[in-house]
Structure 1
Amino acid sequence: MEIRGDVRLKQYSLAMRVQGEIAQVLVTVKATPQPSTTYGDTSCVAGIRMDGDKPTWIRLYPIAFRWLDGESQFKKYDVIELEVRRRDSDTRRESYSPTQDSWRVVDNLAPWKPRHAVVGQLEPTTTCELMKDASADGSAPSLGLVYPTDIDRLEFEPHPPWTSDQLTKMQDRIDKESTALIPMSGSIPSILKAPQFKVRYRYRCASASCGGHQGRILDWELTSLQNRLRYEGKDVQAGVASKFVDQMFAPERQAGFYMGNFELAARRGKFSVLGVYWPRKSEAVLPQPALF
């Protein structure tokens, strides 16, 4: 019996989802961990896929990063190779599920010229454009690089403590791993510590009609900085402003936001700041092709 072309295509697509595919990714985003029923706590990782005809954005979720052994962890701007599958439950075009423990670090790109040789190949956008497109079409770009025209200020809001339900999720994973004959994880972290503050940028993007935006920072680097400042007894708000405004957006920097939206369809038009890209202007120049 002859198999129609569209049926073969569906069979091929299903096989690819089952088998996965190998991707090479420059990691640009490690979002701060959140409590999870399945994983205790888990993180979203995003970056730039480098194995195709041209660089493209990719989102990797879930990765229970705090539960990984040291040799299985990776840093921002590491280049990793891993097996991925499309997330059928997430209609955002960039979303993939990584195969657990399939990744390996193959390189690390130093600041900033080697990084910009990859990041600079992606067309920057504006927050206004991202929001408009995602609100109209759930499959519109959900990740992008935005260069703000100005930073108005940082806003700080007390971060609420974890709820009893969130604490239970995290403790259940700890208990399960502690009593397992063959633990899934080589190390068992302590209960995830909630940040002291939710922090948002007030800024304007490059859209001519931009009336201003408020973007919450979800970067794990922000959470780590808050925890360190608290431990050292320093002013958390002053320390965060020094790093995320004074240093990252210093005049000699060409700083932009890695932006991402939410999986929930009703909130696709809402974008958060997943991280900051802050090369020096002198290093944010793409190499010119040789002329013959």
Structure 2
Amino acid sequence: MSEPTMDHHRWGMVLARPRGLLTAEPFWSETADGIEEGLQHTQILFFLHQVPGLQEELEVYRRWSAQGFVHGVILVNPLVNDPRPALVDQLGLASLHAGVETPAPGSASIVSDNVESTRRVLERLHALGHTRIARVSGPSHLAHTHIRNTVSRQIAQELGISVRIVAGEYSEESGRRATAELLGLPAAGRPTAIIYDNDTMALAGLATASALGMQVPDDVSLVAWDDSASCQLASPPITAIAQDVHAFGRTIAQCVRRIESGESSFEVPEPAHHWLRRASVAEVSPPR
């Protein structure tokens, strides 16, 4: 059998996530749909592959390179001390870096706005009277988790408020566990608002608050990072730090097309996040 030849119209995206999360949250399925739409009527084929962790993801890139399976890869979910850009460069694969805060020189990158988005949500909650705020974060190895945590602490210091951070994993179980921990604190230290790093954890938080006999938003306000139909249909509907995820996918597709056309170094912004206030957030008055 002859060796596979390189097809310069194949691109792959690998998601390193625990089994079940891909179907539990809509972000990546909606992103993939946007990519597919953006690549319609082109010769570019898009492949989405899920693996349980980083080492498996790195092995996929090695295998794809050895087989000549793809021309390029879309690197998403930038990591703290990320080994992937150096590896794909070493393997000779084209790459698009999606969601980076600070693009590497000479790279093709979609630039995120986590710093400003984090600042804005805390300032909005503070303006509504919240001085004890909690964050249920995503996994600590993700760069945007580190950025949001760091900025949250900085903004809390600037505003003179308290921000408590509890680590989550994007899963329903981690949302339940973190919410129970936060709402179990003594009243004087209990947060009046909780921000979750995805909609799955926020929905679990809403159910947990109800199970504990607490009213949303009278006893605690809830905010989800990323919107979804489930957030909109919840009772009460959950306030979101929303992004046009489908447009994010189309932006990825447009960038892939630029790379296929010969460009190798550029920066474009990802679709901006914006605040969608719904009934899960209330204004509070001292001394809460």
How high is the TM-score relative to the length of structure 2? 0.24
Higher strand share: 1
Higher helix share: 2
How high is the TM-score relative to the length of structure 1? 0.24
